[in-house]
Amino acid sequence: MNREDFPMLKEKYIYFNNAATSFKPIEVINEINDYYTKYNSNINRGIDSLSYYSTNKYEEVRNKVANFINANNNEIVFTRGTTDSINLLAYFLEDIINENDEIIISIIEHHSNFVPWQKLCKRKKAKLIVLDVEKNGTISPSLLKNNINTNTKIVALNHVSNTMGATNNIKELSNIIHKYNALFIVDGAQAISNIKIDVKDLEVDFYAFSGHKMYGPTGIGILYGKKQLLDNMEPISYGGEMIDSVSIDNTTYKDTPYKFEAGTMMISSVLGLGKAIDYINKIGIINMHNYVVNLRKYLIKQLQNIYNINIYNEQNEDSSIVLFNINNIHSHDIGSLLDKYNIIVRAGHHCCEPFMKYLKVDSTVRISLSFYNTKEEIDKLIEILMKAGDYINELF
pLDDT digits over 97-123, tens only? 999 999 999 999 999 999 999 999 999
Distance between CA 146 and CA 148 in Å, rounded?
Answer: 6
pTM for the model stands at: 0.96
Residues 72 and 195 in one domain: yes
* HSE of 95, CA atoms in CB hemisphere, 13 A: 6
Written as one letter, the residue type at 379 is D
Residues 340 and 275 in one domain: no
Distance between CA 285 and CA 294 in Å, rounded?
Answer: 14
Average pLDDT over residues 154-169: 98
Of 202, 351, 365, 369, the catalytic one is 351
Residue 83: CATH number of its domain: 3.40.640.10
390: closest CA among 344, 343, 328? 328
Burial of 20 (0-12, 13-18, 19+ CB in 10 A): middle
Q: Last residue of some domain: 249, 281, 313?
A: 281
Residues 55 and 156 in one domain: yes
Residue 382: CATH number of its domain: 3.90.1150.10
Does residue 172 fall inside a structural domain?
Answer: yes
Specify the 3-state DSSP secondary structure of 194.
coil
In this prediction, residue 241 carries a pLDDT of: 84
Distance between CA 133 and CA 113 in Å, rounded?
Answer: 15
Q: Last residue of some domain: 255, 281, 307?
A: 281
The backbone torsions φ and ψ at residue 383, rounded to the nearest 5 degrees and listed phi first, read: -55, -45
Residues 273 and 381 in one domain: no
In this prediction, residue 45 carries a pLDDT of: 73
Q: Cα 54–216–315 angle (5° rounding)? A: 155
Distance between CA 193 and CA 285 in Å, rounded?
Answer: 7
Average pLDDT over residues 24-34: 98
187: closest CA among 81, 285, 91? 81
Residues 277 and 288 in one domain: no
Lowest model confidence (mean pLDDT) among 58-62, 111-115, 237-241, 359-363? 237-241
Average pLDDT over residues 290-304: 98
The backbone torsions φ and ψ at residue 183, rounded to the nearest 5 degrees and listed phi first, read: -90, 140
Full domain range(s) for residue 333: 284-395
Average pLDDT over residues 130-152: 98
Does residue 382 fall inside a structural domain?
Answer: yes
Does residue 15 fall inside a structural domain?
Answer: no
Distance between CA 184 and CA 177 in Å, rounded?
Answer: 7
Does residue 14 fall inside a structural domain?
Answer: no
pLDDT at residue 176 above 50? yes
Residues 37 and 162 in one domain: yes
Residues 96 and 82 in one domain: yes
Q: What is the DSSP letter of 166?
A: P
Kindly report, residue by residue over 214-246, the tens digit of the pLDDT.
999 999 999 999 999 999 999 999 988 888 899
Distance between CA 182 and CA 344 in Å, rounded?
Answer: 41
Helix residue ranges per DSSP H, 168-249: 170-179, 199-202, 227-231
pLDDT at residue 57 above 60? yes
Residues 215 and 306 in one domain: no
More confident residue, 389 or 43: 43
Does residue 308 fall inside a structural domain?
Answer: yes
Does residue 17 fall inside a structural domain?
Answer: no
Residues 359 and 239 in one domain: no
Residues 269 and 357 in one domain: no
pLDDT at residue 209 above 50? yes
Q: Is residue 385 within 8 Å of residue 334, measured between CB atoms?
A: yes
pLDDT at residue 396 above 80? no
Written as one letter, the residue type at 132 is D
Q: Indicate the pLDDT class of residue 393, thresholds 50, 70 and 90.
A: low
Domain count, the chain: 2
More confident residue, 44 or 20: 20
Residues 178 and 246 in one domain: yes
Q: What is the chain's mean pLDDT, rounded?
A: 95
Does residue 1 fall inside a structural domain?
Answer: no
Burial of 328 (0-12, 13-18, 19+ CB in 10 A): exposed
Distance between CA 255 and CA 62 in Å, rounded?
Answer: 15
Residues 156 and 204 in one domain: yes
Q: Last residue of some domain: 281, 314, 343?
A: 281
Residue 351 catalytic? yes
